[in-house]
A = this chain, B = another copy of it.
Amino acid sequence: MRPDPQHSDCRGVASILSRVGDKWSVFVIMMLGDGPKRFNELKRMINGISQRMLTLTLRGLERDGLVTRTIFPTIPPRVDYELTDLGHGLSRPVQALGMWAKEHQREIEAARARFDERNP
């Protein structure tokens, strides 16, 4: 049974997909699939993300109910981020996507090279 693309509610689903689709969100979700992580831990794991973008991404995920933020009032302060049940549910298709990307990385790079060759 096909998921009926013709009549999917583009409008509502778009705002969710654009979150999932967000480059950084995908990585954060993948990293958290493993278990709770601290802020700088995530920052180190996701190479290239700026502090600002990590903050914004985490806020967005928290807003969507996908991630919880736990503050430990210690010195120095410690903040843990963890997937909610909803977030874990999402992480499954996201991980599938990530694995697909990894498996077909070479094919796509080759296709890009061929295309760029044909279109100088």
Contacts and interface: CB of A to CB of B under 8 A. Distances in A.
B20 A101 contact: yes
Give the size category of A's interface with B: 35 or more
- Interface of chain A, main secondary structure: helix
A52 interface: no
- One complex includes copies of this chain to the number of 2
Contacts of A108: 16, 64-66, 86
Given A10-B46, A93-B93, A111-B64, A34 B98 contact: no
Interface string A88-111: 011011111111111011011111
Nearest to A9: B102
Interface string A1-29: 01101101111111011101111001100
